[in-house]
Structure 1
Amino acid sequence: MEDKPNVPSKLAHQNKKLKALLEKYKQSHHLQSALIQLSEQASTVAELTLLYPAIHDILQKYVPSKSFYVVLSNSYNNSLELSYFSDEKDGIAVALNQSNSFDEGATGYVFKQGKTAYFTKKQMQQAAENGLFKALGTPAEHWVGVPVYQEKNIIGVLAAQSYDTQQGYSSGQIQLLEVMSLYLATAIERVKKRELLESEVKIRTRALTQSNDALNIEVEQRKRALQRQQILFKISELATQAKNLDDAYVQIHQIIKTITYADNLYIALYNKESGWIDFPYYADEFRDVAKPRRFAKGYSELVISTEQTQLIHPCRAKELLKSGVVQRSAPVPLEQKATSWLGAPLKTSQGVIGLIVCQAYNNKHIFSQDDCELITFVSHQIAAVLQTKLANQAIEKSHQELEFRVSEKTKELQQANLHLQMQIDERKKIEQQLYHDAHHDSLTGLPNRSLFLTQLEKTLQHYQRFPDHHFAVLFIDLDKFKNINDQLGHQAGDQFLISVGDLFAHCIREHDLLARLGGDEFVILLTHLTEPQQAEDVANRIIDIMKKPFCSKGTCIQSGASIGVTFSQPQYIHTDEIIRDADAAMYYAKNSGRDRYELFHPLLTQSIPTQESQTLHHLDLLPMHFRSSEIITLNEQFQSESLFEAFGEHPVLGCTSFDILKKFATDKDQHVQVELELLQQAYSQALSANVAMALVPCSSNLLEQLEFIVFTDVLNKQQGLSQLCLLFDEQEIRHASATQIENLKKLPQLGFSIGLNNFAKDRCELNLLTDINFDYLLLSSTFSKRVLQQDSVDLQLQGVLAITKLKNMKVIAKGPSILNFRALLDKHGLAFFVGKQHTLTHAQGISAVSQSQLS
């Protein structure tokens, strides 16, 4: 009884110790968190100007530091300089004006002492009165300064101040500032090194860019030098290979033709002593020869007198005639007047000995400044050759020495040219290969979608400019291609696509374009057409050539082609409209019996009057019927049940999957209206077929609140709802809204049977099976195949079967109609199976079914 009064005191003592430990743990946690954040900032921040604000943000989480600044020492002038400043009362201008006075204030005091200092307002004033330092700026209620060390040397001061009398600094907060200061120097050094590295990278990048530009300029100069050297080489050969002057003139003409337009060319020689101009070579479309004449005021005389290359067009010709620089002795017929005239002097060391002239009539060619430069260069070489032929033996000997030096230089340039040409040829080959790979299918070698659309765009633009140049697009889908992959394997399927590409290529002309879009889809672009019948002829040839069965490893399968054809129309603006119409026509052909072609069906784009658009969907313009799979009675356990998977079919669009309905429905209401009509038709057919259960696919749109009310109201009016199971796709349910999920769960409560379709196509989510009471579960064909290939997937299947057994769900597998495939699924516990023809069977007892029945 005497110990009882001591119990509260012991508890109080223990409570005090716990609070102290908690405060110590809290302080350690804050310190660790601040250091981690500081390290992250030092690793990511690119500039010092960004590092200080980041440190300030970290400190404000743990320390009263709205007013915070960092001062670092400048080793060059031994003064403290401001690196970062943020203050509630003093603006940045105040701090910068006092930057040279930090040595005299409290900051300089901390720097000199090398120790942390904490002052209240009163203590700060007292220290200033005692002469320890000067009071600078607006007096703060609380001020703390912490020295920043780099190794053993102090490099600056980190300071925080508070203008609130109630907001001071605890020992833990001061300790946090001291620890932060220890890591601040390291962080500053890391950021400085990163800044230096980035600066060096920029400088290096700039240097490399300038080097590349210089290299490009050098290559361009080398090309020009190479072109001129080639010309020089030809002219140098002329000096030794020409038999006589007439042969030399002919060869000069051929050389000039390789560098510019020279159908009309003449060479004139000028004798300064006699004052006559002679025309030893003259090739012109109007005159065969030109008579010698005295030096007068013609174009040729202008070149000789100025000793410069002259480029004369009609405008300049008029100016020369008007100014009197050029005079004509007789009128020249209009058709014989040169519309572009280019003359270059033949200059030697002894002066101008003549000129070489190229001229064009009727604007066949317009000479440019580049032509001037080339003809000037050539004229100098030609002048040297002609001078050699006309000069004496001494001059000829000198010319031979020059020719030898030129030949040696030519060989050096030829070697450089050969190396450069090899590099150019190799690069061209690589570029051509890259372009081919980017625009052709890797399997068949045919043009791919990108190249086809590019060519179709050009063809459409050409047709818009020239409406008489018609074209057509054939969209081809191979029939029964899946059978070849399933029964013969994907390797045989690839070989089939290659052979089909070769067959199609023999059905079109050389200028037509055949491309593979992907999978078993091909397209053909026919150009230069005059009537649609030409496109139909190509389609007929393709259909006929596809009648030959494809055989591999002793097994033959009959394929075929469904072709949609669209002919050029003025209303086509974009290429996607053409592809869309050809695709729609192909669907029409495929759903009209396959192995045929159809021209684009105009009803697909038929407009509906505005007053009828709210009550009539454009899909209703075409008749619609409903197709179901074959109904098979199951084994003894389900003798009273017959199930089939039902789906709508449109004569143009084919199987009415909900993706296609969304594509062609103008709005959501029309989509729901068409889907409800399909459900009613499916129910009617199941009722007339007297089956136990009809599995009918539905979209998640029917689970929206308003649509759900209409949907359930329509079905409640039917008789015998137990014969109808509503199938919802797993991917849609996985992304359904909360309202849709809630309405889905209501369906079993309202007496409807529901099922989950394409389960585990990409992943296996068991929570869907546990949360919602489904009656049927249709496994995707992808999951069924993985069960036979991967042990981990088989374990997933066993989990699915365990859940479905507890919840009394019927599990149905999907896959190709192959006997061994279905037998293997039976070994894994799957009792029901639906093949690619939508035929539902029981896996047990398959050995008693013949192969003909399965096919």
Structure 2
Amino acid sequence: MSSKSLEDSATHFDKLARKNVRLKSLLQKYKQSHHLQHALLQLSEQASTVAELTLLYPAIHNILQDYIPSKNFFVVLHNPVYDNLELSYFADEKDGLSVPLKYEQYFKEGLTGYVFKQGKTSYFTKQQTELAVEQGLLKCFGTPAEHWVGVPVYRDKSIIGVMVAQSYEKDLSYSEQQIELLEVMSLYLATAIERVKKRELLESEVKIRTRALTQSNQALNEEIQQRKKALERQQILFKISELATLSENLDDVYKHVHEIIKTITYADNLYIALYDEQTHWLSFPYCVDEYNDTGRPRPFAKGFSELVLSSEECQVIDIDKANNLIKLGVVERPVDVPAERTATSWLGAPLKTSQGVIGLIVCQAYNNKHEFTQDDCELITFVSHQIANVIQTHLANQELKLNHQKLENRVAEKTKELRQANLHLQMQIEERKKIEQQLYHDAHHDSLTSLPNRSLFLTQLEKTLQHYQRYPEQQFAVLFIDLDKFKDINDHLGHQAGDQFLIGVAESFSHCIREHDLLARLGGDEFVVLLTHLTEQQQAQDVAKRIIEIMRKPFCMKGQCIQSGASIGITYSKPSYKHTDEIIRDADAAMYYAKNAGRNRFECFHPLLNASNVQHDADNMHHLDDLPMHFRSAEIITLDEQTRAESLLEAFGEHPVLGSTSFEVLKKFATDRVQHFEVELNLLKQAFSLVSDSKKEKVLFPCSGLVLERINFQALCKLLKAHDANRMCLLFNEQEIRYASAVQIENLKNLVAQGFSIGLNEFAKDRCELNLLTEFQFDYLLLSSTFSKRVLQQENYHLQLQGVLAITKLQNIKVIAKGPSIFNYRTLLDKHGLSLFIGKQHALAPFEYETPSAQIITS
């Protein structure tokens, strides 16, 4: 071969060798790229599937072990709160977990902290580590590694931690490709951590919502079950009510009752027993039993049936309870009854009617076929009352049928007597109607003038005020009339002449008003007129002018003539009027102004007139410090008239117009707020003296919102602290609290904070505001009598009452009802959930004011 050919061959081999080297380099790059891609895919898959971070780190560790020496691997993350590096994952061949935890606070000073500070990948051999330690660049903790590589973990250009792999074998080092793989993995580690954290948060929210939905579903299911039970009970009641109208005989009724009981509980063995109080015998008109179906009558003894009749309660008796009752001697059982014929579970409920217990209904099970529970007892008790009424009705009908034949024979004989008796009875009824009408008239009319009296007038005024509040366009007016010089007529002409004068005045006044207006005599020489359907105020003034014109005529008798007259005060309807007392007060004030201005004239009310009334003579007794007062006490009782450890103490005064009236009404006539507070404070002092003598643990005393004002509150607290305030509960009117100022509300809460007891009076008189019950810590709640009556008359008020009772039970507030002392009235309220009532009031010793400063002393 020529030299040229050899040269060409050598050149060709060189080219092939260079290509081979290049191909190996490309192959290595492709292999490295494949490893990176595969590792990132695995990391992404793990980040998408693992449920929590504690599972992510082991997954990353497993991925790395396929490509680099990473048996020793850990991850450290930065805690910005404490500014230190915390260990998140750790796996090591030589050092246990206790080693890094021991030096965790020194992570910043070691290799890991060096990488964190530098913010770039660092590779150390054992010799390089020792050299760095000698140079003071870092510290070494734990077993030194032959090869150590740390890669920073970034999130949004901020370093958040370090990922470390290390090897304890000299020949297991890290290549550039392996370090590059670690770096790539670190780039995606922060994203993977964030994805897992979001998944953890999402799964936590899902669990919370799932739990909430589960609880909601459970509550809904419970409500559905309750409604199903209610519907089932309603259907049972319908079936029982149908029995009362069926024309079947009594035996068929018993069979239908048995079928109904079977739908409620186990009733294969059932009997119905009736009790005769006169003979003291038990009869068994219906008996279905697998061992005994005769049901022979027997005298009253000491069996389970007698136990139900005596206790008038449902009884559930198993073997153990039966044995205990026998040992105690409450029950006696026949000794010759075989064990297999002795009931293992027994359920009996009394049949109660308005006449009392007429018998019982019993279900029993043998050989442990069924065990009756308290639910069975509640169900059979629920239906037993209805069944008792049905049986009672059919028994009465049966007795009527037996007596029907006898009655037919006597009908002809008694027809004439009945006709005469009916005629006589009809006459008595007519006479009684006349007497009742006369009694009603006498109770609501003045005996002298036959005019409506104070009671009838106040009732009509209350209705007119309520109508006006609904229809403000329909105006009304009240005229308060006081006759002038009436005392002169009595003194000079005699009281008989005075009576004749009043009769003539009443007749004359009646000609001055329209047919639908109301003229009434309050007493003495005082009259009032209620004018309704007014279109203008001038109409009331025209009536007053006619009355004054009539009174200009002199009154003559026995040859003597006396000139009288009329002083009239007029007040018109206005939105600010909430009570009839306010209307009478203003009309009275206007009348006194007319009398002081010269008499025989009329004046219309103006707010300034209240201030002028302060100058009235003490004889008029229209001021709080002039009115004779006394206390009345009422005990808090239960339905069965059992007294409790609480009582209600109220102050009353004798008003010249309104008569004996509570302090709650009288305080509206106070023209001076200072005078009002002094009187009320002295009332409270007097109440404390009565409380100290009382055996009651708690006395409820009504107060006004005036004591809660800033200038009065300190004096109130001083008085409370000076006495045994633990036995006194201050009652505040619900309407005053509803419109109380911010200072009054704050002081009311201060009373509670200082340990004093408070209550709410006249609650729900015009509307029911439940938020008041939760805003303050009341100890007592006195319902208004108006609300109690509405509860018995309208269904929606019953629902409001249930809301009140639910809140007061949570707030531990005692609810007390007001109203008439009628047993049926209280029984109906008791069925609605009210068990405490105001008893009858009894008067305590009166008292009077000793000085102008309104100091109260016991008289």
Report which of the two structures shows the higher radius of gyration computed on alpha carbons.
2
**TM-score normalised according to structure 1 size:** 0.39
**Normalised by the size of structure 2, how large is the TM-score?**
0.39
